[in-house]
Structure 1
Amino acid sequence: MDLIDFINRNYIEGIISDTSYNHFDMITYVIILFAGVYAVQKLLKKLRIKVDEEFVIATIPYIFMGSVFRVIEDSDLLKPPVKYFFITPLIFFVIFAICFGTLLLTRYLEKIRKIKNYIHTYAIAGVVLSLAGIAILIYYGSSNWNPGILVYSLVPAVILTEIVRRVSPAIGMTYLRSRMYSFAVFSFMLDSFTTYIGVDLFGYINKHPFSSFLTSIFGTGAVLIPLSLILVILIIVMLEKDSREDQDEKYMLTLTLIVLGFSMGARNLLAMAFGV
């Protein structure tokens, strides 16, 4: 197999056919993600854009927007070659372009005093774009609407997140009560619950090699729920311990954590809710 065949088989075919990830493309996409996070962190610092908890929370609507657009593609509402831009990894670049472009625009509008607070306008724009995508899904997919999925997935994810928030002071982890970390925990819980429900109860196929491996060993996707909870808390503990001198790094890595959990969890939730 030469290099061209290798790239076609492990990367290009996966995008065109929208098949399950393999070990090669999964590792590559993770590397691209973290390299991108590092580059964005440096760029934001150069542009003097403050990276804090408010910035992280304001960016969450764009993560949700990415999930909405991904489900629109899953619904076969887009045709080639446009649909390829809404499949991993190309969708990362599309959402980043929209997100970063909106951030720069709102900051400029604040600078010329057209708006009072760019970060609030930035967040609102993300919400509007997400709602526009939801409207498209409702219009074209309302016949397959399954609202029960929202209850089965969201309620237990919210309950577990709230338990973590309430218990955290007693175990010396009060920082887990912050909006940012609470949403990171919720993101991983949503991903694990939707994966369990989708694979075990609705017959969906898990496209991620590692979680598929764990599910096959234990015979159920339910194993992902406690493992995801432990994993996200351990990562947050490490972020708090190792990033005290570089707060920008802590916030950017937490945002990355939310991207990894919430993008997949929201996509799973929407796909099942709309019967995709």
Structure 2
Amino acid sequence: MATVAERTGLDPERLWGVGVVAILVALVGGSLAFPRVVYDGFIWHYFWGPVQADANSAVCATRAEGITQYLDSASACAAAVEPVAYPGYTLVSEVGYMVTLIIALTGVVFLLRRLDIGDDPRFFFSLVPFMFFGGAFRVIEDANDTPGVADALITYPVNTLIISPVIYVTVFAITLVAVVGSVTAERSGLIDDYVKPLFGAGVAVLAVSLAYLLWAGLTGSQGATFYPQVLVVILLGSTVAAAAAWWLIERFAPDVNKGTGKIGLMVLWGHAVDGVANVVGLNWMTAIGAGNNLIPKHPVNQAVVDITASTLPDSVLAITGDAWPFLLVKLVAATAVIWVFDEQIFEESPRYAILLLIAVLAVGLGPGTRDMLRATFGV
């Protein structure tokens, strides 16, 4: 059966480009032709509106007659006429971002193929610091949005660049510059191996972000505080959880990780960080003397909490909390992904396999780092 590329006479890269342009034309053209329906009712409502509301520290944002207004009370938001956008994600936006991620990953595969890199596990590990950096960078914006803070470092509209999901584009751009710069330096004869400076660049931008957050926490700038016990509990808990899951895999189902090896362990640990950070942040902040418990921002997190709260009796919830199943969900999901990436996938398409695993780790470790540091610095 002929492929789409064969039927159209376009190579995969050109076909990808045509598809991206077609989507952009449809969205831009639809917004111009039917602004109330396409832009206000879809693009703004589910994607850009939540970013604007978050960037302006509003409870919600509304849009009528092409004008955006920001509301500061839940009652006003409830009475507002749709479209109303709240900070955070919705099921529609998460599906949209998932589709965007798949399209973007395909484009990155073409780029890595052009650069002739990305098929070595070392490339995977060289990008890990950038995933930590993305989470830390997002917490800087959280500090800027802390209620009552007058000394915001980054203000609207610049702060939209470090709010989810736009921050993923920002971090991607920074990472891309580091990748291309490192590869160029290697091929110019300035260095012998692009992996080391690439890893170093990630560590450098992460160190700058952490240094700023530590300064803010120790000095009380921008409403930040410093709860080192949160960091210790989350890192220790995630390491124990990942180690336990890894032991179970190695003991009872060793074939699960034959393909990924150490990459699989890193993926498992990254999602354990996300799981434990949610459990600690949502249920145990007050118990460890680190301020108030946080509120879930993702629909999946909220759904897990709601189901647990409605299923277990209050006497049990008082002991276990209602967020712990999220950790189990993350570990099971990570294990399933590791199992899918068997040896055959790496043999047939190592570059695409490694890139997908980078994305899998990023969607766990990035938000997990954000939740962990947000709780650590009380923002």
- Where on the TM-score scale, by shorter chain, does this alignment land: which range? over 0.9
Equivalent residue, structure 2, for 1:43: 111
What do the CA deviations read for 1:66-88 (whole angstroms, capped 9, x no partner)? 11110000100321111000112
- Give, in whole Å, the separation in 2 of the partners of 1:228 and 1:165: 13
Q: TM-score, normalised by structure 2?
A: 0.70
Give matches, 1:12-51, under 5 Å: 12-18=48-54, 19-51=87-119
Report the CA distance between 1:165 and its aligned residue. 3.3
- Give, in whole Å, the separation in 1 of the partners of 2:243 and 2:143: 33
The yes-or-no answer on 1:272 pairing with 2:375 is yes
- Structure 1 contact 161–185 (Cα < 8 Å) conserved: yes
- Give, in whole Å, the separation in 1 of the partners of 2:39 and 2:204: 41
The yes-or-no answer on 1:156 pairing with 2:237 is yes
- Give, in whole Å, the separation in 1 of the partners of 2:118 and 2:47: 36
Cα 1:4/1:136, change in 2 over 3 Å: same
- Give, in whole Å, the separation in 1 of the partners of 2:189 and 2:98: 39
Which of 4-13 and 130-139 deviates more? 4-13
Q: SS where residue 216 of structure 1 aligns?
A: helix
Aligned residues: 276
> Which one of 328, 333, 349 corresponds to residue 226 of structure 1?
328
- Structure 2 contact 278–371 (Cα < 8 Å) conserved: yes
- Structure 2 contact 259–342 (Cα < 8 Å) conserved: no
Report the CA distance between 1:54 and its aligned residue. 0.6
- Give, in whole Å, the separation in 2 of the partners of 1:241 and 1:233: 15
Q: TM-score, normalised by structure 1?
A: 0.94
> Which one of 170, 192, 195 corresponds to residue 116 of structure 1?
192
- Structure 2 contact 260–342 (Cα < 8 Å) conserved: no
- Give, in whole Å, the separation in 2 of the partners of 1:161 and 1:211: 20
Q: Which has the larger radius of gyration?
A: 2
Cα 1:177/1:39, change in 2 over 3 Å: closer
Amino acid at match of 2:254: G
Equivalent residue, structure 2, for 1:69: 137
Report the CA distance between 1:90 and its aligned residue. 1.5
Cα 1:180/1:83, change in 2 over 3 Å: same
Q: SS where residue 207 of structure 1 aligns?
A: coil
Give matches, 1:1-276, under 5 Å: 2-6=37-41, 7-18=43-54, 19-76=87-144, 77-142=153-218, 143=220, 144-170=225-251, 171-173=253-255, 174-175=257-258, 178-202=261-285, 203-219=293-309, 220-240=322-342, 243-244=345-346, 245-276=348-379
Q: SS where residue 88 of structure 1 aligns?
A: coil
What do the CA deviations read for 1:234-270 (whole angstroms, capped 9, x no partner)? 1110121662422222111111110110001110111
Greater length-normalized contact order (CA 8 Å, ≥ 6 residues apart): 1
Which of 49-58 and 235-244 deviates more? 235-244
- Give, in whole Å, the separation in 2 of the partners of 1:168 and 1:9: 43
- Structure 1 contact 69–86 (Cα < 8 Å) conserved: yes
Report the CA distance between 1:123 and its aligned residue. 0.4
- Give, in whole Å, the separation in 1 of the partners of 2:294 and 2:340: 33
- Give, in whole Å, the separation in 2 of the partners of 1:156 and 1:253: 26
Amino acid at match of 1:184: V
Unaligned stretches of 5+ residues in structure 2: 1-35, 55-86, 145-152, 286-292, 310-321
Which of 194-203 and 260-269 deviates more? 194-203
Q: What is the Cα-based RMSD across aligned positions, in Å?
A: 1.7
What do the CA deviations read for 1:8-53 (whole angstroms, capped 9, x no partner)? 2222220011212111211111111121111101210122113321
- Structure 1 contact 191–261 (Cα < 8 Å) conserved: yes
Q: SS where residue 205 of structure 1 aligns?
A: coil
Q: SS where residue 75 of structure 1 aligns?
A: helix
- Give, in whole Å, the separation in 1 of the partners of 2:250 and 2:165: 39
Amino acid at match of 1:37: L
Which of 165-174 and 54-63 deviates more? 165-174
- Structure 1 contact 176–182 (Cα < 8 Å) conserved: no
Report the CA distance between 1:153 and its aligned residue. 0.9
Counting aligned pairs with the same residue, the percent is 22
What do the CA deviations read for 1:209-240 (whole angstroms, capped 9, x no partner)? 12211111102110111121111101110121
Report the CA distance between 1:172 and its aligned residue. 2.2
What do the CA deviations read for 1:107-156 (whole angstroms, capped 9, x no partner)? 11111221121111100111011001111111122241000101221112
